[in-house]
Structure 1
């Protein structure tokens, strides 16, 4: 399993991905975000699913993205092209994978801004190569282990949140997932895109970098529960 989160707020984009890969009893670390920049074209890709599908599809896409004969001037065109690469890999490998008992299950989050986009864009791409755009009404999407991290995002985040608040909330969402799922863990890769900058900022965070924040979050969460009044429970807890 994995945890990849993409957030779109008015001021930019946030991408957070863990790097843990678990196979049986073996655990390894691998990058799940790829950055693609070419002039005033800047985007990121995050994936969840079979590593062999991911590596092949991203390699095909990167080759086309860097080819001067291909003109990507809007995000939807780049997303369509990555979808085509997914379908290409499916034609090449899906049958063999099925015969080996494995599913063609690559999901992707694609975000960025290309030279003719009026604003930054965020998309969720399905294994079939089709996609949906992430918009103002629900400004985030998660692939992988999504159950533990959604509640804080649903309660706290909206499209008008600042980029800093979005990153902070996104990290707490990851931290909530990490403490509840042993197949999600450090280090985490982060990509930040300030609106109209045409430049992605990349960072890798180890557990030691954020341990204090995780501990503070756990403590404040417990204290908040302690502070909630308990009189509403009296009617049924005091029954004899």
Structure 2
């Protein structure tokens, strides 16, 4: 069931979104060569404590998962597209890193992700990251009353495909509100003019997951959570939680 929320609820989601934005900022600053991934999770945990918020990721167990998720954030490196577990592995110069995080505060959720290179990064990696960021921006721009959900999805797909990239199989965003994952699903592939009509008060998370090789196939790794490109190519992932208003989309997880 799709829920439409009031301006008062938007503000409560914005409060949670500010926590998410702070986590992404602080974790990105800490992500240097030689830093263990679990240290990035510790940074997120500290922010959550200070903000008196909780992580909707920690102990989350969807039906397909072999065990509850063991961390506050997801940290995915290079060929890992999403759901990477921050463990004892150490960041290296030139790694492509995605940090995906959420926060629950006063009964409402925020969810966002960002990709970046450790250090300077190579030209191809920087281009992949920038294209994925632009795909998110273009999708958000189409999230206006009267448009269709397919307009949002098509913005992601067109941006990625036109740059020669792939879209991770089955990937996409979701509704968000009092739960991290709500209706409607927001696919990363679609056709303009198709799907449900967008209305004021709809709160969704849009999240392009783009593969460098142009192939879409993915595989779940042995940890049961991490999803990687089947061919080992790199992937990038950006996400924001937004609300559709009569004045256009408002990003709830902006800094």
Q: TM-score range by the shorter chain?
A: 0.3 to 0.5
Structure whose alpha-carbon radius of gyration is higher? 1
Higher percent of residues as helix: 1
Which structure carries more relative contact order (alpha carbon 8 Å, separation 6+)?
1
Q: TM-score, normalised by structure 1?
A: 0.34
Q: Normalising to structure 2: TM-score of the pair?
A: 0.32
